[in-house]
């Protein structure tokens, strides 16, 4: 957002630590949080001023953690600090400034699709949280949501091709967040628009070249994000058949070494560090795809094994050492660990 969103990143890392106790002990993801146990020391006193709507994932995931983790499972005083940070972000004056900026001339594509999709994910979280504070924050944000929704609905019919990048402009990731919002908000028009464009772009896709991934600056997988989108669109039985033609190389032997993780050689480079994000987003894609298949589908074990490998690689590199990754990787890790894409 153009107005400043003041969020201390120190709020995020203790939450990853505490999530270990919040997960079901039988959940394979529980052990993935163990590498995060030293992160609180790395970020003591760290405060970063965030700007730009594309960083709104921080606010979104802070809301999610307040909603899904019991207060007594969090460090003492942490819920209060999160609430204070969110109160500072969600103001009528700030939203009015954003609305005016979005509605100004030549702003049709402003923060589209990545930033606006994260914003809708935020208001989706607020709608699902039965709490008076969430109701008040949502009421504050509704004017901006209305402008964004109108702009997206004007954009979708004119989008002639899918945007198959591995970075911010990718259409598949944005479509997943927007569709989830539409279903939660009860916006059938938006849900129908996303469904129609998704089927037009992807129903006939075959043999996605996943071995060409990742590109050098990816934080999203074009192939896996497309499959994660289509499992939201297609009935379960139909999705399984579509997946077999789209990604025919998924093993059925339970192996977790069929998709190489992204490698970051310089975590201080803001674009090269994207590959830590591709490991995290691939992990939730793989989990989500597996969850959409029947229990007896032989591909599930290899999908979940590879999800585990990617999650371990991604979470191990979530730290406060370098701003280039610290200002967004924790939001990806939290999206993964709390299973936002499934629940």
Q: What is the pLDDT of residues 54-105, one digit of tens each?
A: 345 667 878 888 888 777 777 778 788 888 888 888 999 999 999 999 999 9
What number is the average pLDDT over the span 263-277?
95
208-248, pLDDT tens digit by residue?
A: 999 999 999 999 999 999 999 999 999 999 999 999 999 99
Unique residue bearing structure tokens 């990787």: 329
Pick the closest to residue 38 from 318, 278, 330, 264 (CA basis).
318
Cβ neighbors of 291 (< 8 A, separation 6 or more) are 342
**Residue 280 scores a pLDDT above 80:** yes
For the entire predicted model, the pTM comes to 0.86
Percentage of the chain beyond pLDDT 90 is: 65
Instruction: Flag the least confident range among 31-40, 44-53, 72-81, 264-273.
Output: 44-53
Mean pLDDT of the chain: 84
Cβ neighbors of 148 (< 8 A, separation 6 or more) are 102, 116, 119, 120
Q: Is the bond into 173 cis (omega within 30 degrees of 0)?
A: no
CA gyration radius for the chain?
Answer: 19
Record the tokens describing residue 52, joined without a space.
């730009």
């Amino acid at each position: 957002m153009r107005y400043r969103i003041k969020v201390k990143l120190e709020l995020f890392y203790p939450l990853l630590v505490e999530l270990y106790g919040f997960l079901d002990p039988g959940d394979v993801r529980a052990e993935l949080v163990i590498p995060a146990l030293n992160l609180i020391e790395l970020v003591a006193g760290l405060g970063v001023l965030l700007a730009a709507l594309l960083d709104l994932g921080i606010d979104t995931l802070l809301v999610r953690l307040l909603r899904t983790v019991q207060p007594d499972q969090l460090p003492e005083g942490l819920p209060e600090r999160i609430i204070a940070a969110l109160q500072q972000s969600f103001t009528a004056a700030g939203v009015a400034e954003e609305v005016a900026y979005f509605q100004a001339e030549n702003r049709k594509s402003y923060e589209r699709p990545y930033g606006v999709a994260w914003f809708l994910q935020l208001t989706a979280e607020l709608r699902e949280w039965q709490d008076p504070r969430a109701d008040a924050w949502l009421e504050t944000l509704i004017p901006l949501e209305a402008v964004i929704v109108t702009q997206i609905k004007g954009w979708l019919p004119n989008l002639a091709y899918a945007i198959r990048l591995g970075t911010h402009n990718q259409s598949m990731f944005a479509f997943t967040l927007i569709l989830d919002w539409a279903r939660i908000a009860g916006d059938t028009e938006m849900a129908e628009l996303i469904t129609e464009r998704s089927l037009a772009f992807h129903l006939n896709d075959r043999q996605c070249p996943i071995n060409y991934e990742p590109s050098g600056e990816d934080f999203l997988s074009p192939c896996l994000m497309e499959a994660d989108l289509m499992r939201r669109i297609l009935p379960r039985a139909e999705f399984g058949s579509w997946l077999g033609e789209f990604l025919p190389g998924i093993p059925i032997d339970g192996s977790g070494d069929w998709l190489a993780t992204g490698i970051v050689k310089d975590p201080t480079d803001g674009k090269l560090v994207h590959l830590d994000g591709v490991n995290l987003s691939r992990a939730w894609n793989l989990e989500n795809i597996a969850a959409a298949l029947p229990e007896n589908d032989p591909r599930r074990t290899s999908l979940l094994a590879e999800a585990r490998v990617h999650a371990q690689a991604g979470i191990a590199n979530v730290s406060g050492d370098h701003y280039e990754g610290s200002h967004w990787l924790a939001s990806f890790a939290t999206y993964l660990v709390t299973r936002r894409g499934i629940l």
